[in-house]
């Protein structure tokens, strides 16, 4: 059995057999950023589940529209390494179809997130494996593994190896688990926790000739390759949306896009800061957001660096400033140098504001709970 054969058989015989049957359909899906970790966690979970018990099927779903996969060049590269092609995968539009045709209902396993699924018809969460802050939901789910790790894929692997007992039958999917691990931890250099080391020790034993260092470099190169992408492509390439509520009953919708280039690079690449802002404003309107946040990260001569930019809708501008004031200390936000913004042809009505984020350890995973807490006190 290989991962490819599993996916082929799923498509041609298993899924047609269960779809529309009187028993529940079980799916596993990662978070809406559909980054390497979410994709690897979902696919490996489904495969290991099958290796463990071929009578219990779980369908892996990639939590984006099919047309968005080509924006993720690192994922295409990792999938290609184990001969997985896009036609063997399932996306949001496939899930919508399942919800419509499968009246018996759908059971869901969440990997790489632990909040409420947005789609109706998949409210029954039966399993959770995640490394984000525990929201305390689905206390009866089994498995329910939520703990900090560099990569959620490590928790998925460790969970299943405990049941399968031995990596031999899991070996075929290890390059995919390893892709998520090396991307999330820069080949064990950052944010590594015990479960990552545990999983990695087995990966290295199973694939002794595999050059992890080179694999990490190859993947990062593709992840950072945004040649030919529009600003709109970049905004949706690594995007998550949240709804926060405060005690007054106000609700805000906040979208956060992560990008792998500096703001200055983006302004130059797309013509000017004004053009970049304009595209962001269009995206904010398209998604009906109260505020769009852009988080950048990159490594340059000064080391690893982050920036944060906000673009609130005009009527939220004053509150957005208060929110930022609440985050300033935790994220060590600093206003960008004056000459930097003065050089742009900034429209005086613009609500755009950007900051250097000196707390470089805080990725979106940390920023979201900070934002949530700051809004609660607003
Ligand atoms: Mn993750």
C-alpha gyration radius of the chain: 21
The average pLDDT across 173-178 equals: 98
Q: Give residue 157 CA to ligand 1 midpoint distance, Å.
A: 13
Between the CA of 20 and the centroid of ligand 1 the distance, in Å, is 32
Place of tokens 């892996």: 60
Q: 100 C-alpha to center of ligand 1: Å?
A: 29
User: Residue 10 Cα, ligand 1 centroid: separation in angstroms?
Assistant: 25
Find the 150 Cα to ligand 1 centroid distance in Å: 7
The C-alpha atoms of residue 171 and residue 153 are separated, in whole angstroms, by 14
Name which of 96-110, 218-232, 293-307, 343-357 the model is least confident about. Answer: 343-357
How far apart are the CA of 283 and the centre of ligand 1, in A?
24
258 CA distance to ligand 1 middle (Å): 13
pLDDT > 90 in the chain, percent: 90
Supply angle C-alpha 348, 359, 347, rounded to 5. 5
pTM, entire model: 0.92
Cβ–Cβ < 8 Å for 19, 106: no
Q: Calculate how far, in angstroms, residue 341's C-alpha sits from the geometric centre of ligand 1.
A: 34
Cα 366 to ligand 1 centroid, rounded to whole Å: 12
7-54 pLDDT per residue, tens: 999 999 999 999 989 999 999 999 999 999 999 999 999 999 999 999
Model pLDDT for residues 337-371, shown as the tens digit of each residue: 654 444 455 566 789 999 999 999 999 999 999 99
Going by C-alpha positions, the residue among 270, 268, 262, 272 that lies closest to residue 309 is 262
Q: How far is the CA of 22 from the centre of ligand 1 (A)?
A: 34
pLDDT given at position 339: 42
- Domains, the chain, in order of start with CATH, read 3-223 (3.90.1640.10), 231-375 (3.10.310.20)
Q: From the CA of 186, how far away is ligand 1's center (Å)?
A: 13
Q: Write down the residue that tokens 């703001």 correspond to.
A: 263
Ligand 1 center from residue 131 Cα (angstroms): 7
CB of 293 closer than 8 Å to CB of 310: yes
Q: Give distance in angstroms: CA of 132 to centre of ligand 1.
A: 7
Dist. CA 21 → ligand 1 center (Å) = 33
């Amino acid at each position: 059995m290989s991962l490819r054969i599993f996916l082929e058989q799923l498509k041609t015989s298993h899924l047609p057999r269960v779809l529309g049957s009187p028993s529940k359909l079980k799916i596993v899906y990662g978070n809406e950023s559909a980054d390497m970790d979410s994709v690897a966690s979902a696919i490996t979970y489904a495969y290991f589940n099958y290796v463990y018990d071929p009578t219990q099927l779980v369908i892996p779903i990639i939590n984006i529209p099919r047309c968005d996969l080509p924006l993720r060049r690192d994922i295409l590269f990792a999938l290609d390494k184990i001969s997985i092609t896009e036609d063997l995968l399932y996306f949001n539009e496939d899930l919508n179809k399942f919800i419509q045709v499968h009246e018996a209902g759908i059971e869901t396993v969440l990997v790489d997130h632990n909040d409420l699924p947005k789609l109706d018809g998949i409210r029954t969460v039966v399993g959770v494996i995640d490394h984000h802050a525990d929201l305390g939901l689905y206390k009866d789910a089994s498995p329910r593994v939520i703990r900090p790790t560099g990569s959620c894929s490590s928790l998925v692997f460790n969970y299943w190896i405990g049941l399968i007992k031995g990596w031999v039958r899991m070996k075929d999917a290890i390059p995919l688990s390893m892709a998520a691990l090396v991307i999330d931890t820069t080949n064990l250099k950052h944010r590594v926790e015990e479960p990552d080391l545990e999983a990695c020790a087995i990966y290295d034993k199973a694939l002794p000739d595999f050059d992890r260092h080179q694999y990490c470099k190859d993947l990062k190169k593709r992840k950072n390759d945004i040649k030919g992408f529009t600003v709109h492509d970049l905004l949706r390439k690594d995007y998550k949306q949240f709804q926060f509520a405060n005690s007054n009953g106000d609700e805000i919708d906040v979208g956060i896009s992560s990008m792998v280039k500096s703001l200055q690079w983006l302004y130059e690449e797309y013509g000017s800061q004004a053009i970049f802002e304009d595209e962001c404003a269009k995206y904010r309107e398209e998604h009906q957001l109260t505020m769009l946040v852009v988080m950048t990260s990159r490594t340059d001569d000064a080391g690893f660096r982050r920036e944060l930019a906000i673009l609130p809708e005009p009527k939220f501008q004053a509150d957005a400033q208060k929110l930022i004031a609440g985050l300033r200390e935790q994220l060590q936000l600093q206003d960008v140098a004056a000459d930097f913004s003065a050089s742009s042809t900034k429209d005086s009505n613009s609500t755009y504001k950007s900051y250097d984020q000196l707390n470089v350890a805080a990725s979106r995973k940390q920023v979201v709970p900070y934002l949530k807490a700051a809004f609660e006190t607003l």
